Structure 1
Amino acid sequence: MECVHFETGFPEQQLMAQILRLHEEIFEDSATLIEKAKHKHKILFSVGIEKEEVVGYKIGYEMKPDIFYSWLGGVNKIHRHQGIASKLMNEQHSHLKSKGYKTVQTKTKNKWRNMLILNIRCGFNVVGIETDQQCEPKIILEKKL
């Protein structure tokens, strides 16, 4: 799998369409992704590509000059349990470190247990909990780069 980073802009149209399809498959709501992404500062798309197909992605943005927020991500169902999410996360973190970020933060819900476990295995620490608009708890995690 090849990992490609797109900084402060959106991937070309064909890749973006594949990311949106994958996002819709996983989260069942890609309609607002582009609109929300347009308002993020220094957005970064990290995309896993295999045989010209997007098999996974991570999207994040700068919160502060030294803190990056890893916002959204996922892997195609048929490519799960092959280490793609871990590879994308490691690639993203290496890229962020090379850009001078000191900390990466993310949030997840208890229902996304695989993501929670992956984050903890990759060195994230639980630093808090907040409640979303549907009154569901979100677990806040941080990792020093």
Structure 2
Amino acid sequence: MNWRTGSIDEVMALVAQIPELDKPYPKEEYLNRLEQAQHLIQIAEVEGELAGFKVGYALSDTEFYSWLGAVAPDFRGMGIAKMLLSAQETWIEEQGYKTIKVKSRNRYPAMLRMLLGKGYHLVDMEKASDTPLDYRILLEKNCK
């Protein structure tokens, strides 16, 4: 298992395998968010197969937004999400950012547990719909 930098097309191919991401962003959304900002697209591979991804981009000179990430169902439980997050954090710190921001939802408790376990703090919540499962939870972590 390893990770490398990747492309929007690879991310989109992986998104098509993720049942939770049933309303995928069009390619234009990726381009709009990434082309004007410093960004990192990570691709995880297991024995040459695409297994997961993580995408993030700069919000400012000091803040980095960890936007989107997922692991394909066949590769879950192998520590891929944690590996990608740790690698992303290292890269973010090397680039000189001070804060990492991420949003998740109540419907993804494993993600929330992972983030809290890695030192992220709950800082805000957006009521994105009438159901609490879809509330957006904003978390932040200060870089070292």
Range class of TM-score, shorter chain = 0.7 to 0.9
Q: Deviations over 1:85-121 (max 9, x none)?
A: 0000000000111011111000011001111111111
1:45 corresponds to: 41
Inter-partner Cα distance in structure 2 for 1:36 and 1:18: 15
Q: What 5-or-longer segments of structure 1 have no aligned partner? A: none
Instruction: Tell me how far 1:142 sits from its aligned partner.
Output: 0.3
Aligned-residue Cα RMSD (Å) equals 1.5
Question: Is 1:24 aligned with 2:22?
Answer: no
Do the aligned residues in 2 keep the contact of 1:107 with 1:141 (CA within 8 Å)?
yes
Do the aligned residues in 2 keep the contact of 1:43 with 1:61 (CA within 8 Å)?
yes
Write out aligned runs for 1:1-145 (5 A).
1-6=1-6, 11=7, 16-26=8-18, 27-30=21-24, 32-40=25-33, 41-132=37-128, 134-135=129-130, 136-145=134-143
> Which aligned segments of 4 or more residues in structure 1 are displaced greater than 4 angstroms?
none
Do the aligned residues in 2 keep the contact of 1:18 with 1:53 (CA within 8 Å)?
no
Q: Percent identity?
A: 28
Inter-partner Cα distance in structure 2 for 1:34 and 1:127: 30
Q: What 5-or-longer segments of structure 2 have no aligned partner? A: none
State the TM-score, normalizing by the size of structure 2. 0.86
Inter-partner Cα distance in structure 2 for 1:51 and 1:83: 15
